[in-house]
Structure 1
Amino acid sequence: MENSLQRDLRTLYMRDLDQLIDNIEAIPEDLLWNAPEGVTNSCGVLVQHLVGNLNHYIGEGIGETGYVRQREQEFTTTQTSKKDLIADVESLQRTLDTVFDTLEDSDLSEEYPLETSYEFSTRGFLIHLYGHLNYHLGQINYLGRLLSERG
């Protein structure tokens, strides 16, 4: 049975991943991999980073999906189509839905199973990861609007 925290986390992750898709759709394809001077990562790179991060830490870390993260490629692979990035986010949503379906209330209190810089319960790490998602979602939204205005 899903508790209120699981339901709330699922709702927040899905809402923000839907917003991520909306942001990707709003960025012209030819600007997806651009970054203005002084900006390190393009919108496309940030999307790949979020997909890799959440597939690794939630998909593999909690759901044991077998996902193998290739973090360096998240930042070096460019020119993936908008359609493929959206498909990756949609696949991630399905993965997270499956993980949240299998998560028991007692799992949330256990120590998060993968090595991280800090010690977290699974609950704490899901909250941390949501903050990370939201941080980069804001960057993508702002950068996408900035590029579209200059475009």
Structure 2
Amino acid sequence: MKTATIALYTREIDRLASEIEQYKSEFSLWKVTDNIPNCAGNLCLHLIGNLNHFIGRHIGNTDYVRKRDEEFESKNIPKATLLILIANVKKIVITSLTNFPEEKLKENYPIEKNGEILTNEFMLLHLLWHLSYHVGQINYHRRFLDY
């Protein structure tokens, strides 16, 4: 399970970087419409914050302090900066997962999620799904609004 989890997080974070890299226009990263209210830049910041908080802080024991509102309020951060932030969170996630003992996967995650107590294994699967879902949204956003 641990090896597969690391491989899947690596793949999905690399997909995130690839999607952001493929934007032709810095402006397009931050574009919204009536039908697409979340831009790629904010979704990217949201994923970076989510991974830093739920994996870096609570699995890897980093001192990250999440500022979730800023993930959606920040605008016009350069693509190069987003790519650096993605590379940094990838290192944190992979290091955290690599150093996490596999036998702890069945133990309870250290904080509740939406009022539920989940296992580490369940939480990591949930976070992977969340990552992949938003990367798909970014792909959609890029293909429709990057012109």
Q: Normalised by the shorter chain, which TM-score bucket?
A: over 0.9
C-alpha separation in 2, matches of 1:22 and 1:106: 33
Cα displacement string for residues 51-87 of structure 1 (whole angstroms, at most 9, x for unaligned residues): 0001000000111101000000000000111000000
Paired residues of 1:57 and 1:114 also in contact (CA < 8 A)? no
Which of the numbers 39, 42, 45 marks the counterpart of 1:42?
A: 39
One-letter amino acid matched to 2:51: L
Which of the numbers 84, 91, 96 marks the counterpart of 2:93?
A: 96
Displacement after TM superposition at 1:115 (Å): 2.4
Does 1:119 find its partner at 2:117? yes
Which of the numbers 127, 137, 140 marks the counterpart of 2:135?
A: 137
Structure 1 segments of 4 or more deviating over 6 A? none
Give me the TM-score of the superposition, normalised by structure 1. 0.93
C-alpha separation in 2, matches of 1:106 and 1:9: 14
C-alpha separation in 2, matches of 1:44 and 1:115: 28
Paired residues of 1:48 and 1:74 also in contact (CA < 8 A)? yes
Paired residue for 2:5? 9
Seq. identity, %: 37
Which of the numbers 22, 25, 34 marks the counterpart of 1:26?
A: 22
RMSD across aligned positions (CA): 0.9
C-alpha separation in 1, matches of 2:35 and 2:139: 17
Cα displacement string for residues 24-70 of structure 1 (whole angstroms, at most 9, x for unaligned residues): 01112121100122222100000000000010000001111010000
SS at match of 2:30: coil
Displacement after TM superposition at 1:114 (Å): 1.7
Paired residue for 2:70? 73
One-letter amino acid matched to 2:26: E
Cα displacement string for residues 115-145 of structure 1 (whole angstroms, at most 9, x for unaligned residues): 2112210000000000000110100001111
Paired residues of 2:111 and 2:117 also in contact (CA < 8 A)? no
Q: State how many pairs are aligned.
A: 145
